[in-house]
């Protein structure tokens, strides 16, 4: 058996044991476990896998997502994020709590995930990049992925690779693939965030192709409808810019403006911020407090207790490859719980500015 296959067998076996233990409350009887609350993090929920190049860490299938809700509900009480965050939100709970969150407000959050949430009566929170709502606005990394697919269609992959090799000197893959494209996107995220949309637009011109922007996100009317059915919304910045790459003034603008815009939209707003790309620093958190946010979520794996800093809430990121069976789902949850436990044992101190 090859090593990747052996690792998958081990993951499934551990996940089967963990899932069985949790479902029968064996693990939940331990005093540390019954205080564990988790936040699940999703991006896209799709009826079918995307074609061409795509980021596999960005989606789960509709079938997998529905399975997640059913499995998790056996052990956790799925509650609105605002209840999980409240200090008294779990005092009367008979189970540990779980909140469901979505980053980026992709249009399939409304089209595919929302009907499943309604079917099961599950609340959720969606984090919105306010400046990218509406026609003609799009994510630069999605435009880049479209460009890579067009490069294949037009037989100009070598020109695509040469162009971006000129920007990222150590990126020069032998073949263009979803994996090598993900590496490129990660490297580009290290550049000043404000420059990336123009950089991708220029790349289209260099390859002689037209950039046809389309809205990747849900609209304000959709959000109002979802607000009537247990879905709340929070800011994800104005333009999905990575805060740690910005000047103090730009950082403040991303944090303050996104909350102000959402406050005027008559939607179910909860003042919780989601850090774009999961990147945060002390200055960002000070601005969040100043703007009037009550909490913020990260992409940091782990669980949350009453002692967790409300501006550095941990989440468990899930996508199709790591969670498309119940066994793999429970392994992913277990792995994140272990990561959180290790941080606690090390006495890890994140920021002095957390209340």
- Per-residue model confidence as pLDDT tens digits over 54-73: 988 999 999 999 999 999 99
* pTM given for the model: 0.89
Q: CA 116, 137, 230 angle in degrees (round to 5)?
A: 25
What number is the average pLDDT over the span 4-13?
Answer: 59
Q: Among residues of the chain, what percentage have pLDDT more than 70?
A: 85
Output the pLDDT for position 5: 56
Please report where in the chains the tokens 């992959």 appear, as a residue: 157
Residue 16: pLDDT over 70? no
Residue 19: pLDDT over 80? no
Residue ranges of domains in the chain: 3-130+230-345, 140-206
pLDDT band at 299 (very low <50, low <70, confident <90, very high): very high
109, two tokens: 């959050």
pLDDT in tens, 322-331: 999 999 999 9
pLDDT band at 32 (very low <50, low <70, confident <90, very high): very low
Output the pLDDT for position 31: 40
What number is the average pLDDT over the span 63-90?
Answer: 91
Output the pLDDT for position 95: 84
Give the integer Cα–Cα distance in Å for 122 and 326: 19
8 A C-beta contact, residue 135 and residue 215: yes
Give the integer Cα–Cα distance in Å for 174 and 171: 10
Cβ neighbours of residue 93 closer than 8 Å, sequence gap 6 or more: 77, 79
> Mean pLDDT lowest for which of 7-11, 125-129, 223-227, 253-257?
7-11
Q: If you classify domain 3-130+230-345 with CATH, what class do you get?
A: alpha beta
What number is the average pLDDT over the span 43-62?
Answer: 93
> Mean pLDDT lowest for which of 37-51, 251-265, 334-348?
334-348
8 A C-beta contact, residue 61 and residue 48: yes
pLDDT in tens, 125-184: 999 999 999 867 789 999 999 999 999 999 999 999 999 999 999 999 999 999 999 999
Output the pLDDT for position 30: 43
**Region of 134 on the Ramachandran plot (φ > 0 left; ψ -120 to 50 alpha; else beta):** left
Give the integer Cα–Cα distance in Å for 296 and 228: 23
Output the pLDDT for position 212: 82
């Amino acid at each position: 058996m090859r090593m990747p296959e052996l690792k998958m067998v081990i993951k499934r076996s551990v996940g089967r044991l963990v899932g069985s233990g949790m479902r029968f409350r064996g693990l939940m009887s331990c005093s540390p476990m019954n205080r564990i609350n988790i936040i699940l993090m999703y991006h896209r929920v799709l009826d079918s896998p995307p074609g061409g190049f795509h980021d596999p860490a960005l989606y789960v299938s509709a079938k997998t997502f529905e399975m997640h809700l059913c499995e998790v509900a056996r052990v956790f009480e799925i509650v609105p994020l605002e209840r999980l965050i409240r200090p008294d939100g779990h005092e009367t709970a008979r189970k540990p709590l779980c909140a469901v969150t979505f980053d980026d407000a992709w249009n399939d959050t409304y089209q595919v995930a929302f009907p499943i949430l309604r079917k099961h009566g599950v609340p959720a929170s969606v984090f919105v990049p306010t400046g990218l709502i509406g026609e003609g606005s799009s994510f630069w990394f999605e435009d880049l992925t479209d460009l890579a697919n067009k490069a294949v269609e037009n037989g100009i992959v070598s020109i695509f690779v040469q162009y971006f090799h000129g920007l990222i000197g150590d990126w020069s893959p032998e073949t263009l693939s979803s994996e090598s494209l993900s590496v490129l996107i990660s490297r580009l995220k290290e550049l000043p965030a404000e420059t990336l949309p123009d950089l991708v637009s220029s790349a289209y011109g260099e390859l002689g192709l037209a950039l046809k922007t389309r809205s990747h996100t849900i609209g304000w009317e959709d959000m109002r409808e979802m607000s009537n059915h247990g879905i709340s919304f929070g800011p994800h910045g104005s333009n999905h810019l990575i805060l740690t790459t910005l000047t103090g003034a730009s950082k403040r603008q991303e944090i303050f403006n996104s909350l102000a815009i959402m406050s005027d939209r008559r939607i179910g707003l909860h003042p919780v911020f989601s850090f774009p790309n999961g990147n945060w620093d002390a200055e960002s958190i000070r601005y969040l407090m100043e703007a009037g946010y009550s909490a913020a979520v990260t992409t940091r794996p782990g669980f949350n207790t009453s002692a967790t800093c409300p501006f550095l809430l941990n989440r468990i990121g899930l996508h199709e490859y790591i969670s498309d069976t119940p066994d793999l789902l429970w392994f992913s949850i277990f792995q994140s719980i272990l990561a959180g436990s290790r941080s606690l044992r090390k006495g890890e101190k994140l920021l002095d500015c957390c209340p």
